[in-house]
Structure 1
Amino acid sequence: MKESVFPDIDGAFTWYIATKDGLRGLRAAIQCGAVLSEDIGDELYGMTLSEWQDYLRRQTVKRGVFATLALFAACEGGIRRDFEWRATGEFGQTHAQRFRKLQLQAGDNAVPLNNILTGWIGAEGDKAWLRQRLLQLLTLFRQRNDLGWCPSL
């Protein structure tokens, strides 16, 4: 089985779990005398329990944000691959004409994700359940930029 390139959904999940477990074991590793990188060792050396708990909380939140952004990237990649397949493939793919038009309008530029999703929503006039899911997806992608700003970090 070919290993996929990160970020993909499984890769983001595995990375998140591994780093979260690593954070949890970090304090025990320090107490056991493990050798750490200078950056981490200097940052953590002499922390009180309260400082450690605050550090752990901030780092856990940060990793959650990174993993969430990786999931968004993986989903956007899937949507863009599907769009490309429909826009440039042989005749017969659903919505091919609509997506081909979007691609031609963009020229050499990338088609904005919201244009792809909006076009897809418009094409699904008879499937209310799918339109609703696509609208939710569009809203989530519009909100993803807010994840980069987190004052508690």
Structure 2
Amino acid sequence: MNQIQLTEFSIYLQQRPGELAGLLDAAYAAGVEIISISTTEHLDRGCVRLLGYPEEALRHVCESMVDAGVGPVVESPVVAVSVEDRPGIVRDLAVLMADNRVNVRYCYFVPASRVSEKTLCVFRFDEFERAIEIIEQTDWPTDTIDSISESDASPDAGESAA
């Protein structure tokens, strides 16, 4: 399964008009290509999760926002998994991690773009390195949860079901 390891920048903004626009304008001015943005509301603030290139430039933008009184900024390792566009793909990945006792903290989609011809599903895991190993050992789409379960449940061609 194709995956890309990335650094995600989460920055907390006040709930005021122009906060998000200011962050994105600063990223644009610094030459950062934002490939993914996810926003959530937390109490009286918004949490903006960003993936972009170059990462160093995005880091500098986020740090400069903190210097201007916004923040804090949290950097997190995430993995973007190239996924086929079909129902149940996130379920399959979540079940794969659950079966291997790896917690998924959160996930979100990134549409196909110049970065990847396929849709990406970005994951944050409690056990990042272990999750990467599991993903690398999984041959998608042939090793989906359903196909593994079906092959384990059916006898080989030469065996009797009795």
Q: TM-score, normalised by structure 2?
A: 0.18
The structure with the greater share of residues assigned to strand is 2
Q: TM-score, normalised by structure 1?
A: 0.19
Q: Which has the larger radius of gyration?
A: 1
The structure with the greater share of residues assigned to helix is 1
